[in-house]
Amino acid sequence: MTLTRRSVMVMGAGAVVAFGLPMRASAAGEDKIAEFTGGADMAEGGITLSAPEIAENGNTVPIEVSAPGAEAILVLAMGNPTPGVAEFRFGPLAASQTASTRIRLAGTQDVVAIAKMKDGSFARASSNVKVTIGGCGG
Amino acid sequence: MTRTALIPTLLGAGVIAAGAAFADPVEDTLILNEDIELTTWTEAPAAVEGALSEVISGWHFRGTETRAMQSDDFDNPGMIFVEDAMASWDTVEGEAGKSCASCHGDVEESMKGVRAVYPKWNEDAGEVRTLEMQVNACRTENMEAEPLKYTGTDMTSMVALISSVSRGLPVNVATDGPVAETWEAGKELYYTRTGQLELSCANCHEDNYGRMIRADHLSQGQINGFPVYRLKNTKLNSVHARFKGCVRDTRAETYKPGSPEFVALELYVASRGNGLSVEGPSIRN
Amino acid sequence: MADNVRPRVKAPRKAEPGEAVTIKTLISHPMESGQRKDSDGNPIPRSIIHRFTCEFNGEMVVDVAMEPAISTNPYFEFEAVIPEAGDLKFTWYDDDGDVYEETKTVAMA
């Protein structure tokens, strides 16, 4: 069976996927954030998250995260069946705390990136990505 | 429901939204690997005289990130399949103990320009052949190997390899001479309404390109970019596989890949893109 | 073992001492998320690459914990500092226990 958007969507029980209607943010997402930050406050700024406003296709959405001086960046898809996407840890030979990748989004939702800085503080950025289904190509 | 009643119903249901600005093809230039500039927007060839004033590659109808992904051979996941095919090119298969390389040598030299003129007439066989048909003919007759499944990954990867070495060259399929009859048959198919939705290829790709069909951008339906790595299924898709899907989407009984109908249609649709550069493997949604 | 898994890396062959270079990696892998069902309705079990690391001469550049939301054919782009001549080592860890590796040597310019 080919891995198509349609087959993923059929799985997403209760998920509303029409254009523009937001998905419920999962409580699991907030839990993951709390786990990562230990409940600490997160600054707005100091981290950038680039994601398209409208995803060409939810199966492959290019994103980029950047947080100068960060030790680690956690990326979450708040409306996916499981919110975890990736956690980037930057070592001593990372030239910049920047990374790009391609992710799967099950529907319109917020993608959240949280940076843990070397000084122990946290920063947060989020981006709303519209994911559509429909049209002849699917 | 009669055909005339169907269109207003579809329009009313917001299926075809007129004038949505961001559906229009984006002005941009495709430069491959910072090296070759591809022709993706040019004046209409003779094959579509009267029907279109300009021909535009599907590349212009996709989003910024998708267009960028295609401009670099490393970023383009379709090239993974091309690399697989390069390994197959050198692999001996079949009773005759040959690989593609045994006869054709280096793929970049021997296959340059080939994709640009397919589908084309094969004099010995007395038929119009697509690249897939020619690959299988070579395999069965010259290599004495098993034919590949027409829309399978192995075949589509090989077609992508052959296509990749022609990128930048203009599509230039013949429409007259021995192929004329096939071309006419393909043209008729293109303009014939089928299925419960009573749609022809032209209804969307000629009459409404640049508009939204629900959440999708309608392109001109050009095939210069095939085989296509679709983000939706993260693999390479061949022309006939796409045709099969399109016909199914009109809710009609669809044709088989490799069928005379699809061969004729592929020849006609390819000719509609004469002048555009070979782009495959491209990236689309 | 997952079939047909092949890593690809784009990294420069030469760098000035201390230069920051861009690295791109791609590995062909289905990244079966565990969300899909087969035609009989049975869930297809998760089978993904769950970790990717890049090191230079043994020192860490980046270490990524990956979840099923990373797309098929995982792609990463990041920057590394090249302090001296040496080897960039890339490692991908599969749920099924397989480990895929690729090494790229970088000379001094």
Residue B4 has pLDDT above 90, yes or no: no
Extract the residue ranges of chain C whose pLDDT is less than 70.
1-3
pLDDT at B18: 40
pLDDT confidence tier of residue B232, bands split at 50, 70 and 90: confident
Residue B137 has pLDDT above 80, yes or no: yes
Asked if the C-beta of B152 comes within 8 angstroms of chain C's C-beta atoms, the answer is no
Helical residues (DSSP H) of chain A, grouped into ranges:
5-11, 27-37
Give B44-94 pLDDT, tens digit per residue: 999 998 899 999 999 999 999 999 999 999 999 999 999 999 999 999 999
Per-position DSSP letters for B183-197, written without gaps between them: HHHHHHHHH--BTTT
Asked if the C-beta of A57 comes within 8 angstroms of chain C's C-beta atoms, the answer is no
Average pLDDT score over chain B: 91
pLDDT at B145: 95
Residue B97 has pLDDT above 70, yes or no: yes
- CA distance, residue A57 to nearest chain B CA (Å): 6
pLDDT at B214: 80
Looking at residue B271, its amino acid is S
* Chain C residues inside the 8 Å CB shell of A81: 35
Could you give the count of Cα atoms lying within 13 Å of A69 in the half-sphere of its Cβ? 10
- CA distance, residue C47 to nearest chain B CA (Å): 16
Contact A136 B246 (CB under 8 A): yes
Looking at residue C90, its amino acid is F
pLDDT at B82: 96
Asked if the C-beta of B285 comes within 8 angstroms of chain A's C-beta atoms, the answer is yes
Place of tokens 């892998």: C29
Cα separations in angstroms, C7 against A64, B69, B73, B247, C24:
21, 18, 15, 37, 11
Which helix H or strand E contains C25, and what residues bound it?
strand C19-27
pLDDT at B14: 41
Could you give the count of Cα atoms lying within 13 Å of A30 in the half-sphere of its Cβ? 4
pLDDT at A10: 53
Which 104-133 residues of chain A touch chain B by CB within 8 A?
A: 132-133
**Residue in chain C lying closest to A105 (CA):** C69
Torsion of CA A40, A44, A49, A53, to 10 degrees: 120
Full strand arrangement of the beta sheet holding C86-94: A42-44, A122-129, A109-117, A70-77, A84-90, C59-66, C49-56, C86-94, C99-108, C14-15
* Chain A residues inside the 8 Å CB shell of C74: 101-102
Contact A90 C20 (CB under 8 A): no
pLDDT at B66: 93
Q: Please give the model's pTM, rounded to 2 decimal places.
A: 0.87
- The backbone torsions φ and ψ at residue C77, rounded to the nearest 5 degrees and listed phi first, read -130, 135
Catalytic positions of B, written as ranges: 246
Q: Is B177 helix (H, G, I), strand (E, B) or coil?
A: helix
This complex has an ipTM of: 0.94
Contact A2 B235 (CB under 8 A): yes
Contact B80 C72 (CB under 8 A): no
Chains in contact with chain B (at least 3 beta-carbon pairs closer than 8 A): A, C
Extract the residue ranges of chain A whose pLDDT is less than 50.
12-20
Asked if the C-beta of A86 comes within 8 angstroms of chain C's C-beta atoms, the answer is yes
**Residue in chain B lying closest to C7 (CA):** B80
pLDDT confidence tier of residue B250, bands split at 50, 70 and 90: confident
Nearest to B76 by CA among B155, B158, B160, B149: B160
